[in-house]
């Protein structure tokens, strides 16, 4: 079962932020980094290239809708030094036995999202269906 952690481990913080910034530019929207999936596995990197695979939980607003997405990236040190080269790994879609219901944003993120939405509207209807929200 995948482990979702709300705090990005320090050794991966720069790579995770680079992936978040890249994704936000590509989508022309602002996203917050709200979690990482299986950080222990992500700590491993390709020794030859220094590339690291990350699965991140990104929350933001797209087309007027609040969304939280699980996105996969390969991040490696840039050739110029301080920057990172980010490659988005498209999701092949839910597999049989998909852990998608387990990848909802962490509880603290949900309450923050709910507070923000309640400030915009008189009430909010939450629908839970098989782990999706």
pLDDT value, residue 42: 79
pTM: 0.67
Closest CA to 65 of 93, 101, 29: 29
Rounded to whole angstroms, what are the CA distances from 41 to 71, 120, 126, 130?
Answer: 15, 39, 33, 27
Which domains does the chain possess? 4-120 (3.10.450)
What is the predicted pLDDT for the residue at 3? 79
Separation between Cα atoms, residue 55 and residue 11, nearest integer Å: 15
Give yes or no for a contact between 73 and 67, defined as CB atoms under 8 angstroms apart.
no
At residue 54, φ and ψ (nearest 5 deg) are: -125, 140
Per-residue pLDDT of the chain (133 residues; tens, 9 = 90+): 677 888 888 988 999 999 999 999 999 989 999 888 888 887 776 666 778 899 999 988 887 788 888 899 999 887 766 688 999 998 755 555 555 545 555 556 666 777 888 888 888 887 766 555 4
């Amino acid at each position: 079962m995948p482990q979702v952690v709300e705090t990005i481990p320090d050794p991966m913080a720069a790579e995770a932020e680079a992936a978040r910034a890249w994704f936000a530019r590509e989508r022309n929207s602002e996203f917050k980094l709200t979690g990482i999936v299986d950080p222990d596995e992500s700590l491993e990197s390709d020794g030859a290239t220094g590339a690291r695979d990350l699965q991140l939980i990104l929350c933001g607003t797209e087309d007027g809708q609040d969304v939280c997405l699980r996105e996969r990236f390969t991040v490696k040190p840039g050739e110029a030094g301080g920057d990172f080269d980010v490659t988005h790994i498209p999701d092949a879609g839910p597999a049989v036995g998909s852990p998608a219901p387990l990848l909802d944003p962490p509880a603290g993120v949900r309450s923050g999202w709910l507070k923000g939405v309640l400030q915009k509207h008189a009430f909010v209807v939450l629908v839970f269906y098989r782990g999706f929200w």
